[in-house]
Amino acid sequence: MKVLLVGETDRTDAFRLRLANQPQVEIEVSDGDSDEDFDEYDVIFDLNFDDDNSNLPIYATLKEKHVFVSATKQSLAEAVYEHQVKVKCCLFGINAIPAFANDSKWEVVLYRKFETAELEKTLSTLGVAFVAVEDRVGLVKPRVIFQIINEACFTLQEGVAFIEDIDLSMKLGTNYPFGPFEWCDKIGITIVFETLNAIYDDTKDERYKICPLLKHKYLRNETFYKTKAKKEKEEKGKFDF
């Protein structure tokens, strides 16, 4: 099976590692230029699709090919409607956020539910278990985790507790592997903010209305915990403002 990974390096690296242990799978990486010969691959993963869905008209013509696209900031239905294309490929949406690539089960959206058997066959070959989810912005796990991060930001902003205390309370109280701020730094502030923003635009649900503190961190591209480089600068008496 020939697999093409389309996307930025951090995304393709995470998914290459996730799929690398399958001896019958040959993996190649591309930037997804329109002159790519997509038809020579059995399976395509467009991991940048949330940010650039311009290749959808090309993918749609790939009859019976399996195309997986990142679908946390937009639904498949929305993307297809935007381009007004007739989908001949087997189109699936996935959570392509690198931090979730190694999850034991992937969340997968089926554009056509009757293609479940084909999906099972392909992902079995790739060594991936999955759970089918509805075609909604944010899918399931990102919605839950990003909402928790947002609520934690409100708690921090209001001075109720410190970052470390909030993270420790979450881990001890829920047995989550990370606290909300650890999770945000691990996933990336840009992904968290932009996905929450997309969910709020889609639902207008106040639960997803972004905390001003989270927005401030996003605009400054800051982490909640100090990076190694910043710690080294502070140790030398050089502070970044």
Reported residue count of the chain is 241
Q: What is the pTM of this model?
A: 0.90
Fold for 141-230, please state it: N-(1-d-carboxylethyl)-l-norvaline Dehydrogenase; domain 2 (1.10.1040)
Q: Which residues contact 95 (CB under 8 A, 6 or more apart)?
A: 70, 71, 72, 103, 106, 107, 139, 141, 142
Considering the domain 2-132, what is its CATH architecture? 3-Layer(aba) Sandwich (3.40)
CATH 3.40.50.720 domain extents, the chain: 2-132
Does residue 179 contact residue 170 with C-beta atoms inside 8 Å?
Answer: yes
| Low-confidence residues in the chain, pLDDT < 70 | 227-241
Q: Which tens digit of pLDDT belongs to each residue from 23-77?
A: 889 999 998 887 889 999 999 999 999 999 999 999 999 998 999 999 999 999 9
Question: Which part of the chain has CATH 1.10.1040.50?
Answer: 141-230
Nearest residue to 67 via CA among 172, 170, 58:
58
